[in-house]
Chain A
């Protein structure tokens, strides 16, 4: 069960490898990377542009929460619109584009299979980003729906569905051409996510917007969808990436591969039910709420399994983690996964939910999951993947440090501020003697803190954006000649 733990500080030279075999291996990996170079770069660039756009929306929305008069004369930027534009930009613009690159690259590398006809992926990527652009513009112009996480006008759904289908099918095709016998746990996660996302999206679109279900079936479907986008789309791809990158960068197999497989199947079994905890106390059948609570608590099994596995793999190598840009972000994300999931399970208990529901605590929790966990792992993954895709090194260590520290401190402060502020807000709302406006005023200092931490996160994103643009500039603009040279290997011509 348990992998041996070689001392990575003193790596032995790979035993018994003929030079010819090594060259062949390198050429093969290089071909795989080359096969999705253009598509991968398109996805990463689109993702980071959407990240910047979404960050601007986030700052406007956050500032408006404690200064409602700010930009009040522009109907396109009212709080309701700009907040939804932020959410959709981040999930469908930043998140999905990042996932498309990371998941497809991991799938191709692990399957030892090239991405065939990468031009289709480029076409699908352009289509996807057109869909998101139309959708976000629709939200800002007042054409949005009232369904959380599905605010884009319903006409956009077919465009997104078609482009996703092209991308998803490419992932499956790559897997089906695999040259390896064993299916690594990351492949399980990605393959499952490729099927889960379209199922969630299609069912939610059909049952809520195209042929609307009646009554409370709509919110039930809504939260089944919205929570599962996190649990069965963002989470599996993030975990796939962590299960690949942590052992890969450390040069040490995962502590217990057996546990990792159990973790995957437990997630597949329990997460699907958990979204109903968003409706605890609502006018839906009690048994359904209880099922949601039970599933949320059962999620502690895969979460603890992943936490043990990652911790035991990393233990004793924190120095190496610190020296690796990729692992700084990925390990931060993996630790956040444990924290956010356990807090989420606790929030599904009725006694806790009665305080946290309808407060800023939930907003802090959502950012804990989507940012501190998912986004940080995607940052780390991009730091690892992009040099291999385009055969160039990142030009600046300083910008990576600024990116990491701004985002890590920013999101930590953000989550702490909203958790404390939200908890106080919940206690006060449950006290009938406190006037509602007093409760609202008492949240202002916490909301102001959120804006300040948001600015810090913006600094990090700007550093990342500048760094990416710098990396793509012609060689004369970069500090050092920096064609990519993987560790211990000569650069490939």
Chain B
């Protein structure tokens, strides 16, 4: 029993060290790969052309059409006023 327990602990310790090694590698990879730079740009990767920055992308079902039209109206009005 003691023997098998020693083996199990050894295996877990080895995997634990590997796990920690992977975490350190990930951190250094991120630093080298310039993941910790250009934060302004990084924060904007969630937006795309279908759901762009500056546009609310969720609403209650019955309100969706109405609020969409209202936003579109406001946007058009602003464009006409030239105050964008």
**Which A residues have a C-beta under 8 Å from some C-beta of B?**
1, 3, 6-14, 17, 21-22, 25-26, 29, 110, 180, 182-184, 195, 199, 203, 206-207, 211, 213-214, 244, 247-254, 256-258, 261, 265, 268, 320, 323-327, 383-384, 393-397, 400, 480, 482, 485-489
Kindly state the separation between the CA atoms of A199 and B8 in the bound complex, as whole angstroms: 14
Point out the residues of chain A lying under 8 angstroms from B75, CB to CB.
Answer: 10-13
Mask: chain B, 1-42; 1 = CB below 8 Å from A; 0 = not: 000110010001001000100110001001000011011111
Say whether A251 contacts B12, CB under 8 Å.
no
B58 and A206 contact, CB distance less than 8 A: no
> Which residues of chain A are near B79, meaning CB under 8 Å?
13
**Given A3-B40, A25-B48, A183-B30, also A320-B63 (CB < 8 A):** no
Task: Say which residue of A8, A261, A489 sits within 8 Å of B56 (CB atoms).
Answer: A8
CB atoms of A195 and B56 under 8 A apart:
no
> Which of A207, A257, A326 has a CB less than 8 Å from the CB of B43?
A257
Are B43 and A400 within 8 A (Cβ)? no
Neighbouring B residues of A482 by C-beta, 8 Å: 61
Q: Which of B38, B39, B56, B64 has the most CB of A within 10 A?
A: B56
A395 to B64, CA, bound (A): 12
* Number of interchain pairs (Cβ within 8 Å): 156
Contact size class for B? 35 or more
Chain A residues near B50: list those with CB within 8 A. 22, 25-26, 29, 486, 488-489
A326 with B54: CB separation less than 8 A: no
Question: Residue of B at shortest CB range from A29?
Answer: B50
Bitwise, B73-84 to A at CB < 8 A (1) or not (0) is: 011001100001
A10-B74, A261-B36, A395-B61 known; A487 vs B55 contact (CB < 8 Å): yes
The docked-state distance in angstroms from the alpha carbon of A254 to that of B44 is 8
Question: Which residue on chain B has the smallest CB distance to residue A22?
Answer: B49
Partner of B42, one of A8, A182, A486: A182
Please tell me if the beta carbons of A324 and B56 are within 8 angstroms of each other in the complex.
yes
A243: nearest chain-B partner, CB-CB: B46
- Other contacts beyond A250-B56, A487-B51: 14, CB < 8 A: A29-B48, A182-B41, A211-B8, A247-B46, A248-B46, A248-B47, A248-B51, A249-B57, A252-B53, A252-B54, A253-B43, A257-B42, A258-B39, A261-B39
* Residues of A contacting B43 in the complex (Cβ-Cβ under 8 angstroms): 3, 247, 253-254, 257
The chain A residue sitting closest to B1, CB to CB, is A211
User: Across the interface, which residues of B come within 8 angstroms of A1, CB to CB?
Assistant: 39
Contact in complex: B22, A195 (CB < 8 Å): yes
A10–B79 CA distance with the chains assembled, in angstroms: 10
Contacts of A480 in B (CB 8 A): 61
